[in-house]
Amino acid sequence: GIRSVKQGYSEVGVTRIADPATIRRAYEGDDTARSYLSARFSNELNLLLHDRQVARVKRVLRAVPMGRVLEIAPGPGRVTREIEYAGTLVCLEYNWAMIREGRAACAGNSSPRFGKACWLRGDAFALPFMQCFDVIYSFRFLRHFEDDDRQRLYSEIRRVLRPGGWLVFDAVNMRVSLPLRQAHPEQYHIYDRLYRDESELQAELEAAGFELVEAEPVQRWYSAQCRAQVLLGPRSRWLCRLAIRTLERLRRGPALEWIVTCRRG
């Protein structure tokens, strides 16, 4: 239906998917699963974000080298296919096509020194586990749900995380993202929760029983990085990558997104 950006900032009427059942359908099907990675890795900006997400998960996993780890909504295993872990690693995905793609990719990339990820079909709103995980991570998932549904997800995640357990996910910066959505609403079909700043994100997490440890900014010079992608990408992917990652190291501009690390209280 017609929804608008809420939480006290400027409202922009756009048609966006926000209910769980419709979001599931948006990601189902063999064609969607097969093309997911090529779409995500089609430009250097997305690759930068991906690399930073993988690096963050690896840093957190080093704190619990033999623990139990869960990825929620992994899709075709974009992140987990790059994770080598000596403990237990479980991927919970709703769509069978994504499971088939992810299971094959993770099995093919696994090292003999580490166990393979266990793929299960399940619903994140009713996690089929007791309290047993040390780390949970999930990208491009929590952000797609409105407040009530997001609180349900936080509650389920907290239920299956051990005390002091880690949660890693992504959040979108309203300051950078909202103008893009106002200019091109047709490009944003699925709802994203936008946060005014880190303090708003922190308040939400504390209300859900989590302590914010770090909100790592990513894509710090987004406008300039987009220009580099448009101008340099078609000519030289190497030069485009160099420009985008050099801009990222300047670390001064407002981030498009944060990689959020928090702990269960």
Look at the pTM and tell me if it is higher than 0.85: yes
**pLDDT, tens digit, 9 for 90 and up, residues 199-228:** 999 999 999 999 999 999 999 999 999 999
Tell me what percent of the residues of the chain surpass a pLDDT of 70.
91
* Strands annotated E in 103-230: 118-121, 133-138, 161-173, 194-195, 210-218
* Strands annotated E in 95-233: 118-121, 133-138, 161-173, 194-195, 210-218
- Check pLDDT > 80 for residue 5: no
- Check pLDDT > 60 for residue 233: yes
Domain span including residue 39: 2-264
- Decide if 70 contacts 136 (C-beta within 8 A): yes
3 state DSSP class of 55: helix
The domain that holds 221 is classified in CATH as: 3.40.50.150
Lowest-confidence region among 19-28, 116-125, 148-157: 19-28
- What average pLDDT does the structure give for the chain? 89
Residue 158's nearest CA partner among 87, 118, 211 is 211
Looking at the structure of the chain, the number of domains it has is 1
Q: Rounded distance, CA 163 to CA 214, Å?
A: 18
